[in-house]
Amino acid sequence: MAIDTGGWQVKSELFTEIVFAVGGDIFRCSEADFVQEVEAFRAHYLEGDGPIFALYETVRSIEDLAAAEGRHLTPREQALIRGIRQRTFVMFEEQLRAAGDPGADPDLATG
């Protein structure tokens, strides 16, 4: 994923490492966890306006409040964040697809 756009990049040189799981940075995760990680990454590195970024700010506010209160996120807060990230993933991927990104897959979040 491109750190400056959040879009997908071809990285053919990683094929062997990924397929044969020979690299130290390669690990398996569920589609749901992948969606959460991608959205945490996008929210951290990307800036912008619009509904996606407003939702990123909502997540950040929930996390910041818990940190300021010196506590872990409640189960309800965790579920809310997971739901928001699932939705922002779909929204972001739909925008990428509309812009012609061949790697965009909004359906991944609903699988």
Q: In this predicted structure, what is the pLDDT of residue 71?
A: 97
Could you give the CA distance from residue 100 to residue 83 in angstroms, rounded to a whole number?
A: 26
Residues 6+ apart with CB under 8 A from 21: 27, 28
pTM above 0.75, yes or no: yes
Gap between the Cα atoms of 40 and 4, Å rounded? 14
Q: What percent of the chain has pLDDT over 90?
A: 67
| pLDDT value of residue 11 | 59
Query: Tokens 């506010």 map to which residue?
Result: 61
pLDDT of residue 27: 64
> What is the Cβ-side half-sphere exposure of residue 85, based on CA atoms within 13 angstroms?
23
Distance CA 89, CA 84 (A): 9
Reported as a pLDDT band with limits 50, 70 and 90, residue 61 is very high
